[in-house]
Structure formats: C-alpha cells, structure tokens
Amino acid sequence: MAPRTRLFARLMRLVEKGIEEVEDLPAHRAKRVRLQRSAVGQRLFGRVHAQATQQEITIGSGSRALVHRPTDVAGPLPCVVNFHGGGWVQGNPEQSGWLASSVAVGARAVVISPSYRLAPDAPFPAGVEDCWDALTWVVDHADELGVDPSRISLMGDSAGGNLAAVMTLLARDAGGPEIRSQVLIYPGVEMYDRWPSEDRNAEAPVLTSRNMRAYVRLYLDAQHGTEDFRASPIRAASHAGLPKAFILTAEHDPLLDNGSRYRDALVEAGVPVRYVEYEGAIHGFLSLPGVVPVARRALDDIVDFLRATA
C-alpha cells in the first residue's frame, strides 16, 4: 500500500462513522458533497478532465444525470452508462466525475452518470427500477444525446457495479437494449454469503465488513433475505449470453471475492472476462486518484477495454 494510501486509511479510521451510526443521513450526504467540491476534495477525488464537457440533464421521470463527452470528437459516439457507488444509501454522480470524464476522453465516448433513489427512504428495488429507466431512456433519446444506441456499455463501482451487473441481466432477459460490454468495479454481487476476503479485510479503509452488512440491511429493508437476482446478480439462474466483462478488484477490499466469484460465474457461462486485482488498492480507489496511485493504471485499463469492445 502506497504511503499516501496508508495515511488516508489512518485518517479514515479516526473520522469515519459506521453508516448505521449516522443520525441525520441527509446532512451526512450533504457534508460529503461539500467535501467533494472543496479544494481538498478535488485533490482526493480528482477533477473533471480538461478535455471533457460536463452537462447536467433531467432524464426519465425526473432524475438527474451528468453527461461527460470529449470536446474534440463529433457524434454519434459510443455511450457508457455509469452507475455511482455508495452502498445504495449515499453517493451521487459527481463523485464519478474524474473517472467518467477521463473515460469519455480516453474512450471517445459519451459517459452518462444517472442518479437513482437511495435507501433507506427508497429501498430495493427502487434503485434497480431507476437505473433501468435511465438505461432505456438513454437508448430512446440516443439521437438528441449524440450517441449510437447500438454501442451502449455499462459501468459501475461498488453498489453501482451491482446495478450495472443487474442491468445486463435485465437487458438480456428483455431482449434489449443491446449491451456491448460491462465494466464492474469492485462490485457487490452477493448480499449474504461471507467469503474469505471479507474476513481478511474486515477493518479495511473506506469499507469495513460491518458497514458492508449495514448497507445491505438498509438497502433491502423488509426484503432482507430475498434471493432475487436483482439484489444478488450472482444468484441469477443463468449468466449465459451476457456481454463481455471487465471486472476490477482491490487487494485491500472486503468485496474482493465478490468480484472474483462473479468472474468465475461468467466464465463458466461462456462470457469473455478480463479480470484484474490491483495490488495496494483499497475499496473505492477509482474515486480516489489522489490517494491511490494505481487508480490511473486502472483508468487506462478501462479505456483500453472500452475502446476494444464498445
């Protein structure tokens, strides 16, 4: 682990509360947004790429989304629909600004990052429904967005990786939209089973085992215990016929085995998969380029994958 990552981990242990200890969740979310916008936050989370534009739009039934596109390429372009992380309880499209804009420039694509309703006010399957609405809205409005509806890829980190995986399953089962590829960044694909990486990294920075379980309880609420694949995509009856996947995991992450086991499920079903475990990385590292140096190599890997598949 790089020295700056170790320092960040120590600071996180001092200041970060467990999600179930947060008394005022809206205030907690607002505090995170202020941090993202601050000078310190921009050093930690990165800035929007200088060669990308950022536009906020309204989609579907009123959700908002951020659209990043390269400034020097004309459309129609490939499109990447990107779902943010945050344990289905917090997070926003802005936290993906560095990643989404950098992917837009590097992959010569339009990256659209939608918001979705968050638990506990809107528990499962509200987020799934919102993400499906966003995906289908993007395809239906491809012309005005300047994107090619036959070249749609999905991307998401953590809870967003879960939602991206679920969207590929729903799209396959519905006969469309056609998804060219999926980028799953330290995805959570299983709600209940406890695998070795969770014990090994139970007190890891950013995401602990205790917080993992708290997020699941808040997200599933009264449906805790469901085996619905829309909650746990690894539990789908079949993974055959899904698009090519790139799965990224972090060495110091309780969710590492979620990613590696989903890789195994896809490979067994005949889906082409690229898989990389990033040494020295922590959960959330692709939202923390100022903290985890390997984030930039992972970004390059995502761009290479999307340029070859999107």
For residue range 102-132, list pLDDT tens digits in order. Answer: 999 999 999 999 999 999 999 999 999 999 9
Q: Provide the number of structural domains found in the chain.
A: 1
- pLDDT at residue 12, rounded to an integer: 81
Cα 173 from Cα 236, distance rounded (Å)? 11
Cα 35 from Cα 48, distance rounded (Å)? 15
Strand partners of residue 157: 185
- pLDDT at residue 75, rounded to an integer: 79
Which DSSP category does 71 fall into? T
> C-alpha distances in angstroms, 211 versus 49, 137, 214?
32, 33, 5
> C-alpha distances in angstroms, 46 versus 18, 102, 282?
25, 10, 16
Cα 153 from Cα 168, distance rounded (Å)? 9
Residue 199 near residue 174 (C-beta atoms within 8 A) = no
253 in active site: yes
Owning domain of residue 136: 3-309
> C-alpha distances in angstroms, 304 versus 106, 223, 266, 310?
8, 39, 21, 10
Buried b (16+ CB within 10 A) or exposed e, 289-310: bbbbebbeebbebbbebbeebb
CATH of the domain at 223: 3.40.50.1820
Choosing from 130, 148, 253, 257, the catalytic residue is 253
Q: Token pair for residue 130?
A: 């919102």
* Maximal CA-CA distance, the chain: 49
Cα 308 from Cα 299, distance rounded (Å)? 14
Q: Token pair for residue 120?
A: 């506990």
The pLDDT tens digits along the chain (310 residues) read 899 998 988 888 777 778 888 889 999 899 988 989 999 899 999 999 999 999 999 998 789 999 999 998 887 999 999 999 999 999 999 999 999 999 999 999 999 999 999 999 999 999 999 999 999 999 999 999 999 999 999 999 999 999 999 999 999 999 999 999 999 999 999 999 999 999 999 999 999 999 999 999 999 999 999 999 999 999 999 999 999 999 999 999 999 999 999 999 999 999 999 999 999 999 999 999 999 999 999 999 999 999 999 8
- Which H/E stretch holds residue 36? helix 25-37
- Give CA angle at 205 (203, 211), nearest 5°: 60
Residue 265 near residue 234 (C-beta atoms within 8 A) = yes
Choosing from 102, 158, 181, 197, the catalytic residue is 158
- pLDDT at residue 23, rounded to an integer: 85
pTM of the shown model: 0.97
How distant is the alpha carbon of residue 308 from its chain centre?
A: 20
- pLDDT at residue 9, rounded to an integer: 86
68 in active site: no
- pLDDT at residue 74, rounded to an integer: 84
